[in-house]
Structure 1
């Protein structure tokens, strides 16, 4: 083994972490599914008739700790920074604490329901990106 090469393993010999030439190589990057929920408040935030949102679209989750109505509020945005609404209050406390603790959470559109030509409900799946 060279000086710039370090391999750490557990008792059974499986690889945990490898370092080569000062670069840390991680063996996995996990996206952990947490919950499926509808976005709350879309009727207040979706004002674009031409908003195109599809199943599988990735969404951005942002904490809003200074929200006057909910200290655990988490906003939901499209990749283009269009606010869609919030994670429902009944589901957001654990997610808010994870985000406050430095965990990266994101969402993915599971289903878009329409009433005539307008978006009636957006159901999302919440994931935690864990390294």
Structure 2
């Protein structure tokens, strides 16, 4: 991939034989992929300059592949997001280009955080155009809803074993937790949704938790309004701890549905005597297998 995001070369679209070329300095590494996992739909913050975006969207079709790479919001007017404040330089910025190297914008919150953690861990993600909303004139263009993507995680026949080696100003405790969890990939830090306050005996349950406890995450759809619901339990499924907070959980749920081992590790506990006094946060990991 060149600096402007253009693909130098790529081979068959048959994923079982797909050869991915990754730049490592000036060297090119060739890797054979064996399996792909659908992660979900990611939205894009389009470009501030509508004229450039309209030009870059011309000829793009649903199903077309695009390139993803981690790069901060550009100061170049041809690739500056419509809302710079929503693309902070926090190590999770992901720019989207066509295969011809034309900039389309940046992946929106919350999907970009899970995607960035996989990319930091050396995992290979690719995307296809999921939906296009391109009007007749640039004045009608909604830059935040012009393009959405279907995102896939493509795995090598042998795991990379390089998980979580990329640091971008994260707290040290995150990396201590990574060391304790081996080849698992840290995805996010989250909490249960607000409904956990109503769980029977939640005070005594939370008061049993300690930092470092492993949590069991279970997929259980609660209905069409919440298709990505994930339950949180203690490791041996003895005590119910609520449902995972909903942001970013489509990608987590799709990993679990694809057979990935996803689990939680208690990061902090707030103990107390009443439901609104107790709480906990946990880190979410996926096994790199």
TM over 0.5: yes
Aligned match of 2:288: 130
1:49 Cα offset (Å): 4.3
Given the alignment, which residue of 42, 48, 63 partners 2:196? 42
Please give the alpha-carbon distance, in whole angstroms, between the structure 2 residues aligned to 1:87 and 1:48.
15
Aligned match of 2:246: 89
Please give the alpha-carbon distance, in whole angstroms, between the structure 1 residues aligned to 2:202 and 2:263.
23
CA shift in 2, pair 1:70/1:110, >3 Å: same
1:44 Cα offset (Å): 2.1
Deviations 1:74-130 (A, max 9, x none): 00001242110111112211100111111110000000113x424522100000012
Q: When you count helix as a share of all residues, which structure comes out higher?
A: 2
Please give the alpha-carbon distance, in whole angstroms, between the structure 1 residues aligned to 2:265 and 2:235.
11
Find the residue that maps to 1:94 and give its secondary structure: helix
Contact 2:196 2:202 in 1 (8 A): no
- Superposed CA RMSD in Å reads 2.3
Within 5 Å, which residues of 2 pair with 1:26-105? 30-40=183-193, 41-51=195-205, 52-65=208-221, 67-68=222-223, 69-81=225-237, 82-105=239-262
Find the residue that maps to 1:98 and give its secondary structure: helix
Please give the alpha-carbon distance, in whole angstroms, between the structure 2 residues aligned to 1:122 and 1:46.
16
Please give the alpha-carbon distance, in whole angstroms, between the structure 2 residues aligned to 1:50 and 1:88.
21
CA shift in 2, pair 1:71/1:43, >3 Å: same
- Identify the structure with bigger relative contact order (alpha carbons < 8 Å, sequence gap 6+): 1
Find the residue that maps to 2:248 and give its secondary structure: helix
Please give the alpha-carbon distance, in whole angstroms, between the structure 1 residues aligned to 2:241 and 2:259.
23
Structure 2: 5+ residue stretches without partners: 1-158, 162-181
Find the residue that maps to 2:215 and give its secondary structure: strand
Structure 1: 5+ residue stretches without partners: 1-25
Please give the alpha-carbon distance, in whole angstroms, between the structure 1 residues aligned to 2:261 and 2:232.
14
Q: When you count strand as a share of all residues, which structure comes out higher?
A: 1
**Displaced runs of 4 or more, over 6 A:** none
